Amino acid sequence: MSQFLFWALWFTLLFTSACNTSDTIVKIAVTTDVHGMIYPYDFIEREASDHSLAHIYNYVSEQRRMKDTLFFLLDNGDFLQGQPPVYYYNFIDPIPAHLSARVMNYMGYNAGTVGNHDIETGPVVYDKIQSELKFPWLAANAVHSESGEPYFEPYTVLKAGGKRIAVLGLITPGIPNWLPKNLWPEMEFRDMVETAREWIPRILDREDPDLVVGLFHAGTDAGYGGNPEPYLNENAVLLVAEQVPGFDVIFAGHDHQVSSQWVVNATGDSVLVIDPGSHARFAGEVTITFNRDGRKDITSTMVPMNDYTPSSDFMTHFRKDYEKVTTYLKDTITWLAEEMTGIDALLGPSTMMALIHRVQLDLSGADLSFTAPLSLSAKLDEGAVLVSDMFKLYRFENMLYRMELSGAEIDGFLEYAAGIWFNTMSGPDDHLLQFKAGSPGRLAHPYYNFSSAAGIDYKIDVRRPEGDRVTIGGFTNGTPFEEDATYSVAINSYRGNGGGGHLTLGAGIPGDELANRITWSTDIDLRYYLMQYLSEQDTLHTELPDNWQLIPLEWVETASPSDRKLIR
């Protein structure tokens, strides 16, 4: 060996040894369920917001200036639905590069996981987004129906100096319960625990990672929604953490809850599970210190975005998109003759629900219609109805189905809805609505499951117990209603796929039979058709439906005003 090579090797070994005496500090920040909160402005409520991706970018820029820390930014899904800017680029102007893709590329995201509301946009949108993102979009358990191979990338490896961080992505497998098959025509969604058990050994063997991260678009409450079954559980994050060894950190989402907890897995190791909530209110931040003796120290915090101002660079860069969307939302659709308020739908027949029923019946040609309130805060004032108001009136991108149900199944559907909606009253001083025990004002069940019907006449007797409250008199047009007859029903895709349990638990239809009951579906979301319908009206006059009522009337009239004051 020459003297030059000897000294070169000696200096290399010395340098490597010196580097190994230093700790490596890695920080991972995660956003989840952003739901279109790109700008520091709520386009639906028409008010400034103290949380958005513009705020997140200010925080991210601060972190990247820290010299002693290696920083990574991840997203945990559901960024393609919620606010009008994403809807605009999903469906109104889908040809240019999508705003969300450009924003997330600009922000320097390192990886992301697909969410159920991202799938809700349909394959034209999410396939295009996947091609535009400059980082891997993950979902190991969303697989091609024919090959069984992942439709999206299953995992990625981030390099932090000399350290390797493996990130496995999983999506909630509950999608078939909420979304029509035409939105995921080439996919199936597999169990999260089984998929993690399949991929973790592969990752450990192939990649030899120093840290394993789960990026799961699913929540932590496996019992949420009344379906605690572990297989294909909608919110199986803790089940994975407990049953599948190998993870160091798991980021949760989907449930919009802010939480951080340590979980002990099957081999006795501790796993950090952190959920930063929704709408860019927080960045979930995890700091990993790789000590020179081989230990890993892991800490976490929730970083509130109201501690930051929106990034001026961000706002300047995406100002033209902001102006384009703002112009679109200011378009007048029609003129509203009288005010409509969303909260009215909790307490009986309402004008806002009557409008949705009317559009659903006209569009589908069905015998009757089911719908539910989708926003308690929605309020349309007398006067001009703008495009932006449509996002108050109908918050989600549901398709409209026409389904076939028997009279008995329709009765069971309404009994189920009434059973989770109204209290069993013993007198006029009782609550009309079901509230959580010990928490008057907090509804016992999600308001978006409080379904009413149009096209039939019926009464709900709040003195009667659950399951025996509804009496159907007949169709509003005078046609008799028969329990053994089959009728066509207009219903949104969330409910039609089993969401809320009305068709499965209420009507008693097996979940695997629901698809066979669908005889027709829109190919664009219902909000689009609402806008079309309203644009054809010079003036929209509200109608308070009289096809259904709560009895006894005097009890309802006493309880309703006091319950309205409590709702929060």
CATH number of the domain that residue 200 is part of: 3.60.21.10
pLDDT (tens digit per residue) in 295-317 = 899 999 999 999 999 999 999 99
- Measured from the Cβ of residue 449, the count of other Cβ atoms closer than 10 Å reads 19
Full domain range(s) for residue 227: 22-325
CA distance 223 to 465: 25
- What would the mean pLDDT of 217-240 be, rounded to a whole number? 88
Residue 521 falls inside a structural domain: yes
Handedness of CA 368, 374, 376, 382 (dihedral sign): negative
The answer as to whether 7 is a domain residue is: no
Specify if 439 maps to a domain: yes
| Confidence at residue 17, expressed as pLDDT on a 0 to 100 scale | 42
| Averaged pLDDT score across all residues of the chain | 93
In three-state secondary structure terms, 193 is helix
Pick the residue with more confidence: 226 or 182?
182
In this prediction, residue 16 carries a pLDDT of: 46
Identify whether residues 158 and 228 lie together within a single domain: yes
Residues 146 and 216 in one domain: yes
**Lookup result for tokens 């009765």:** 411
* Nearest residue to 418 via CA among 433, 437, 438, 435: 433
Same structural domain for residues 191 and 306?
A: yes
Looking at the structure, do residues 355 and 282 belong to the same domain, yes or no? Answer: no
Give the tens place of pLDDT for each residue, 497-550: 998 999 999 999 998 899 999 999 988 889 989 999 999 988 999 889 999 999
pLDDT, position 2: 55
Report yes or no: 493 and 417 within 8 Å, Cβ to Cβ. no
Core vs surface per residue 131-153: b (16+ CB within 10 A) or e: eebebbbbbbbbbeeeeeebbbb
| Amino acid occupying residue 249 | V
Q: Using alpha carbons, list the distances in angstroms from residue 528 to 216, 459, 520.
A: 31, 32, 17
Q: Same domain for 384 and 275? A: no
pLDDT digits (tens, 9 = 90+) for 237-250: 999 999 999 999 99
Q: In this predicted model, what pLDDT tens digit does every residue of 368-417 receive, in sequence order?
A: 999 999 888 888 889 999 999 888 888 888 899 999 999 999 999 999 99
| Structure confidence at residue 3 (pLDDT) | 55
Write down the pTM of the prediction: 0.85
pLDDT in tens, 320-332: 999 999 999 999 9
- Asked whether residue 421 is assigned to any structural domain, the reply reads yes
234 lies in the same domain as 356: no
354 shares a domain with 318: no
User: 248 is written with which tokens?
Assistant: 């160091």
The pLDDT of residue 77 is above 90: yes
pLDDT digits over 193-214, tens only? 999 999 999 999 999 999 999 9
Domain count for the chain: 2
Positive or negative, the CA dihedral 136, 140, 144, 148 is: positive
Q: For residue 451, give the 3-state DSSP assignment.
A: coil
CATH number at residue 461: 3.90.780.10
Q: How far is CA 475 from the centre of its chain?
A: 36
Q: What backbone torsions phi and psi does residue 475 show, to the nearest 5 degrees?
A: -75, 150
Query: What pLDDT, in 10s, does the model give residues 103-121?
Result: 999 999 999 999 999 999 9
Residue 503: DSSP 8-state: I
Q: Is residue 502 situated within a structural domain? A: yes
Q: Are 423 and 386 in contact (CB under 8 A)?
A: no
Beta bridge partners of 439: 436
Written as six digits, the tokens of 460 are 């709900």
The closest alpha carbon to 495, from 486, 487, 504, 508, belongs to: 504
Same domain, 430 and 492: yes
CB 401 within 8 A of CB 460: no
Judgement on whether residues 319 and 339 belong to the same structural domain of the protein:
no
Of 325, 354, 376, which residue constitutes the final position of a domain? 325
CA 491, CA 521: separation in Å to the nearest integer? 10
Q: Does 401 share its domain with 263?
A: no
Q: 523 or 72, which is more confident?
A: 72
- Assess whether 292 and 368 both reside in one domain: no
Q: What beta strand segments (E) does 462-515 contain?
A: 470-475, 486-492
Single out the residue of 519, 520, 453 nearest to residue 481, CA to CA: 453
| pLDDT band with cut points at 50, 70 and 90 for residue 10 | very low
pLDDT above 90: residue 45: no
Q: How confident is the model at residue 227 (pLDDT cuts 50, 70, 90)?
A: low
Q: Which residue has the higher pLDDT, 260 or 374?
A: 260
Is the pLDDT at 15 greater than 80? The verdict is no
Q: Is residue 293 domain-shared with residue 355, that is, in the same domain?
A: no
In this structure, the strands spanning 539-540 and 332-336 are: parallel
More confident residue, 180 or 505: 505
pLDDT, tens digit (0-9, with 9 covering 90-100), for 128-173: 999 999 999 999 999 999 999 999 999 999 999 899 999 999 999 9
Residue 9 belongs to some domain of the structure:
no
Indicate the residue among 295, 325, 355 that finishes a domain.
325
One-letter amino acid identity for 234?
Answer: E
DSSP secondary structure string for all residues of 141-178: TEEETTT--BSSB-EEEEEETTEEEEEEEEE-TTGGGT
- In angstroms, the Cα distances linking 179 to 154, 413, 525 are 22, 19, 11
Answer with the one of 298, 325, 352 that is the final residue of a domain. Answer: 325
Look at the chain and count its residues. 568
**In the predicted model, what is the mean pLDDT of residues 439-448?**
89
Spatial strand order of the sheet with 137-138 comes to 137-138, 111-113, 70-75, 24-31, 282-290, 296-304
User: Ramachandran region of residue 168, left (φ > 0), alpha (ψ -120 to 50) or beta?
Assistant: beta
* Domain contains 3: no
On whether the CB atoms of residues 251 and 76 are closer than 8 A, the answer is: yes
Is 261 inside any structural domain?
yes
CB distance 297 to 291 below 8 Å: yes
